Structure 1
Amino acid sequence: MKKKIKLNDIMDNCKISVYLAYAMSVYCLASVFYLVATRAVGTPFKDSLTEKQLEIKKESAKVRRNIFYLGIAIGVISMFVFQPFNKC
């Protein structure tokens, strides 16, 4: 008979995968490379927008930025409160 694996069993024996660490590192390096490599790339779509469209885009970006920052804050607070990796 197979033993059922419960969430508590997983959290009690938490080990972060080396593969996950490598994947996160690769993602970070790729993000930095993307930022550096695209600095010299033009922005033909943005260049084609009117002033009114640019203003709408700017306001939309502001709203989305605030939502993203709120998500980060919720994530950080959740990590402090629940400490899911405390036993790792």
Structure 2
Amino acid sequence: MIVRIMGEGQVRLSDSHLAELSALDDELSSEMEQGDGPGFRRTLRALLDKVRELGEPLPDDSLEPSELILPAPDATLDEVRALLTDEGLIPG
């Protein structure tokens, strides 16, 4: 799966990591619902760090279709809410 982090680039990520990322996504969604700004910021950073850790960066000149688009690390609560689906940021 190709994942784009807005403002950074793309990484190739194995589907086998989706469950681990989904747990962070659930935590992020809960913090957003509660309006927990510090928790939201911490969990968003953890989610993006995990994607970077588990994924293989694609070259900057590569333009693969992204199957998943994640917000930039400095995204606001409102910006992330605009990206959410019924399943959160991570499907599944």
TM-score normalised per structure 2: 0.26
Normalized per residue, the structure richer in helix is 1
Higher relative contact order (CA 8 A, sep 6+): 1
Normalized per residue, the structure richer in strand is 2
Greater radius of gyration (CA): 1
TM-score normalised per structure 1: 0.27
